[in-house]
Structure 1
């Protein structure tokens, strides 16, 4: 009998599921919570976002969507009265027209992890009288006094990207068509500041790895006197071009992207300074460095941080356009045993202190035993270099910290995030004078951050705990923390009660999520919810992190999580232990943490363990069943990196080293040679439009598994990017599918 390909595929799938199926009848999975979770964008729609205190400190502006519509509007909170009013909606500016984003702006929002439409951002002018609003590739100015909106007359030839006020409030700069432009508000006329920009050689735009891996989303900077603009030129000549095609639309041209891979040509970047009134570009000295990591232009001049390709070395330079001189502020070769040095977001800062030019910068934590006793418990060191009138430099080491927030030069304070416990994050204030005072501004267990008024008298503190979703309160920005009001939310609250325990076991911070009807007399199949990669903490005291794990646990599992070596907040040796050992150290730690959990909690059935993760977590999940089938009985691997030679340079080379000398480490971390050993059920899930971890990764592993004669399941998500949560239906169906997959292969509580 002739068997069609579709019939053969169906027969094979039926046979595979029949062999692995749990004979115990199970009720259908209820995905109604997942539907609400997805449609409300993780219950974040309706919550205040991106709050900014007006320069006079009297009002706070913020973005907020309706509880059921992912379009951000602009609101104003009056600090004195506590009243909130809507200022503008996208519909008011666009009329009946829909928001129209270019592919470049969509990619930029993807890099920034933005899922809602409408206003992505807004900007006060220096006086706080006008608001700059980019929307759908156009620019609008909102006059707060008259409530009048004016659209700026930008030229044709590309959408407006990354608009910024000049410090004097008279002009607005932006990038259009790969060049930097300035529009004069008095005449509403546009002038090109740079020329000759092309898709291959861009001006004023941050390159891919700067956005995705360095957290730098801009490529140009105003001088404080509004006379100059510094801009990045990114030359992509020789960089590989990769294409993202939509299988649902074979008639549509694939999107092109320059994608630098390990051992391949990187983007050539340089920094230039050009007068706004016209003139030639002065190019900054890049020395031997390959990356332009950070830039700030403040009272101490233009300060820029450069980084070597192997990321073991960085240099900090200061440029004075009035004299044309460049000063080397500092450089750090790193300790010989240090495989890489982390960049610190939002630093360096250029300012004045005691009448002298000062640069505030962050560095990696050195050996605690070699440092003087410092306040704080974080992984980074806050440093200050003061340029004295006689030409000498004076250096200060101020504090340990995890994240920099803001600088109050007038009152000699820096605001940071710090915590001795990596599951928490607290806002602190540290003196940047010689006394180094250190004060906590938050204390409730959880995750906290803040933004501040210009004079740092008040702040908007956004906090979340294990029992509460994020809330934003306006408070006095000192240890008293007097509450002045709360930014109102209209969000739907999760109708799911968490049963989460966070504790440290041995060396590892762990989480245990039990079902709502937990019976301590039963043995439960276990699902290890994993990320495991550097720069990301999974086990944190934040309610929103545990909503889906709680739903999954309620389907008849105990869900657990472990933060392995390589995750931040635990010191230099802990973080660097994964260097050139992606395939082994994180997985070994997950197994150790899992065994500690099983020993402590007898309800965990260590013989029935599944593993699930996305991105690096997807790599960990697939690695788990391939490398440790004795521990993991089934895996759902979402958007996994399967071959580290196919990921981007800045991330991969930091942790894996440079090719060709590090070839052995890349080979050992690859999943492809392990494919022939698959003995456990594996579900590969991947969006076909993913331009972060390309669909190529799952295809390469699928091909290796198929050629090795292995049975596995594959779920392509057509047109879906790395941020699958942007599509509510995909989110609901994906987790429903995962629950059924684990129920089939792990069984029910016994």
Structure 2
């Protein structure tokens, strides 16, 4: 095949990858077993249309039926989203349209469908969907536990709509853009992992809602410079060491009226981390978790629902920081107490605490690599969880509530997740393995497979040649290497490092997913592509992760360099005189940092949406690792890319969405300005109108093409 022909084939694959969202469109997502255990509701798009539709799978007959499409409900109109809903989806990393979520009523008879800022109710018996009389702009709709009403937020207040009358009434009053009711604040959504700001009581008579006061928070503006006639979007953005939103939690009747405010020491514990309102649980009440600003202390508080007073059940402490778990506490209906996760003994463990908060027993010990809770079957005394000692894998396990008789329910190497819904008898499993793209299957609680949700996705035309291995010592690092499919072991190849390197995410996975497919495509252009998980990344224990405390710019980069060298010792075809590096977000920061601090190793870098100056990122994330800038000025300076702007010697391409509301475009502009004033040569590629995500297929294809051209120019071909 000629070089020109190879280029055409490669370009076509990149186009296919972009249009199919990495061959993920058409695969089942958001699957839920119905309460009767007979059907599975799920969402699925067409292979090249990023709009999710609603389906039902019959477990016995194995037949699938489409229930309703977004187009049927919109009747040909375009989908419309409010600025608030767009921002919420950005926080949740949702980049598709159509039915992006749904909710089953408690009895499973009806499905609530938010679409284009409005609400629809689908009746599973009649197979009909009717519009609900809620105005445009509804956010975070939820069924009441009794299934008779829907609560939601619009215009900064909580409303309830009666399903019998199809009429709404206002529950909270006085909400404004700077003092909203029922909405989670920015850091709750972006960093804490809590996307909701109101909660139904189990008896459907009361609503707990968050009041958020952002009047003292800095206002930043997000705009699209390519549209100067369009007004900028204002948002309260809390930067390190500056004012956060003030949050309090109130209780009010479903018909509104007087609010009982929950009392806790909000000066000491300003962050409302989790809210749990257990149903049918002996001895349990509304429970909240609140966190100190330095994130080293987390208080579990029981709420007296009449007076609003609280009493402490447990105080979790950590000398560095506490990783929040939105699933905890998980109250047991028997009255035995609540489940809790802790890293107190070196790694994440699952334990039982009494109704008063006293430690009872460890259920899943630290050495098991616990990751998340899946389901509790109290009648059988069983807990299902995801975990594995190796961070490159995740498996479903079943264990007795007394910590005995643990059984591993997934055997195939890879990452598996599962969900039960309200049925104890069946679960849906999503499996990512090395040999196939993600698949969704249906299983009995014993683990026996009884079906599979059908995919209509296109399949990639090649299998990636990726290998996961451990390299180096002190520390020993997980690494992944991808060789070209036409690999010639007599040649020396330029190397590209795919990096993230930050907390909360790993890049070494060993499974077939969109990320590894792109790495294979990149390798096929004439590179060896590698990924390394340095200290500070999750899944290897408390000390490993906390090694990043007070420094983003030392251990992370040192481990990347040592891992690269160790990998080259095992792979002599890697040419360490021609190493490039690319990443996005924290990975963009790491890429730019590598070019600035280690030009002896990294000869070219592509930095996407990099955080440049950590004083310009948000409070909850940054202060967790670096503390307050007023107290740790030198830490912030050492972690800032601006500190090293005069050191640039290697080619650097900065890429950034001009409307990014997470890592603002400001970051790349500040670095570009510093480099320019230091007489340094660099390139900058603004992505017009794009945010922190790059879902646009045309932009995605063009960006990867530009990336390869950049590395080809500066690293060359195999020799």
TM-score by length of 2: 0.95
Q: Does 1:308 align with 2:286?
A: no
CA-CA distance at 1:233 after TM superposition? 1.0
* SS of structure 1 residue aligned to 2:286: strand
For residue 405 of structure 1, report the CA deviation from its aligned partner: 2.3
Structure 2 SS opposite 1:352: coil
In the alignment, which of 531, 554, 579 is matched to residue 500 of structure 2? Answer: 531
Q: Alignment length, in residue pairs?
A: 702
Query: 566, 570, 587: which is aligned to 1:600?
Result: 570
SS of the aligned residue for 1:539 comes to coil
List alignment gaps of at least 5 residues for structure 2: none
For 1:526 and 1:565, how far apart are their aligned partners in 2?
A: 22
CA distance in structure 2 between the aligned counterparts of 1:721 and 1:202, rounded to whole angstroms: 24
Contact 1:348–1:359 (8 Å) recurs in 2: yes
The match for 1:13 is none
Residues 333-380 of structure 1: CA deviation (Å, up to 9, x unaligned): 32xxx2111112322223322xx262222222424xxxxxxxxxxx32
- Contact 1:615 1:640 survives alignment (8 Å): yes
Cα distance per residue 1:149-187 (max 9 Å; x no partner): 2211124xx610111111111111111111111111111
Using the alignment, how far apart are the partners of 1:554 and 1:669 within structure 2?
35
Question: Is 1:399 matched with 2:364?
Answer: yes
**Distance of 2:535 and 2:358 partners within structure 1:** 38
Counterpart among 346, 353, 369 of residue 327 in structure 2: 346
Conserved in 1, the CA contact under 8 Å of 2:595 and 2:605? yes
Displacement of 1:103 in angstroms is 1.4
**Which shifted more, 492-501 or 434-443?**
434-443
Cα 1:324–1:262 change in 2 (3 A) is closer
CA deviation map 1:14-57 (0-9, x unaligned)? xxxxxxxxxx9998573211111110011111000100111111
User: Can you list the C-alpha shifts for 1:268-304, whole angstroms capped at 9, x where unaligned?
Assistant: 1111111214431111123120100111111322111
Given candidates 660, 675, 678, the residue that maps to 2:630 is 660
Quote how far apart the aligned CAs of 1:530 are. 0.4
3-state SS of 1:520 partner? coil
Q: Deviations over 1:223-257 (max 9, x none)?
A: 11111111111110110111111111100001111
The corresponding residue for 1:386 is 354
Cα distance in 2 between the residues matched to 1:395 and 1:657? 34
TM-score by length of 1: 0.91
Structure 1 stretches of 4+ moved >6 Å:
24-27
| Aligned 8 A contact 2:170 2:256 in 1 | no
Indicate the SS of the match to 1:63: strand
Q: Which runs of 5+ in 1 are unaligned?
A: 1-23, 368-378
Contact 2:27 2:44 in 1 (8 A): yes
- Tell me whether 1:116 sits opposite 2:107 in the alignment: no
- Bigger mean CA deviation after superposition, 393-402 or 253-262: 393-402
Which of 353, 360, 368 is 2:339 aligned to?
A: 360
Deviation at 1:80, TM superposition (A): 0.7
Q: Provide the residue aligned with 2:50 in structure 1.
A: 70
Partner residue, 1:15: none
- CA shift in 2, pair 1:357/1:321, >3 Å: farther
Equivalent residue number for residue 302 of structure 2: 318
- Asked if 2 retains the 8 angstrom alpha-carbon contact of 1:344 and 1:363, the reply is no
Instruction: Report deviation, 1:436.
Output: 3.6
Contact 1:610 1:635 (C-alpha < 8 Å) held by counterparts: yes
Partner in structure 2 of residue 488 of structure 1: 454
- 2:36 is equivalent to residue 56 of structure 1: yes
Deviation string 1:478-511 (CA, Å, 9 cap, x unpaired) is 2xx2111100000001112211110111310001
Taking the aligned partners of 2:344 and 2:142, their CA distance within structure 1 comes to 34
2:15 maps to which of 12, 35, 59: 35
Query: Which residue, out of 633, 647, 672, partners 2:603?
Result: 633
Backbone CA RMSD of aligned residues? 1.7
Q: Using the alignment, how far apart are the partners of 2:89 and 2:204 within structure 1?
A: 28
- SS in structure 2 at match of 1:610: strand
Contact in 1 for aligned 2:30/2:42 (Cα 8 Å): yes
Rounded Cα–Cα distance in structure 1 between residues aligned with 2:492 and 2:251 = 66
Q: Secondary structure at the match of 1:543?
A: coil
Distance 1:625 1:325, change over 3 A: closer
- C-alpha distance 324-290 of structure 1, shift in aligned 2 (>3 A): closer
Instruction: Tell me, yes or no, if structure 1 residue 543 matches structure 2 residue 543.
Output: no
1:419 corresponds in structure 2 to 388
Residues 656 and 665 of structure 1 are in contact (CA less than 8 Å); yes or no, is this contact kept in structure 2? yes
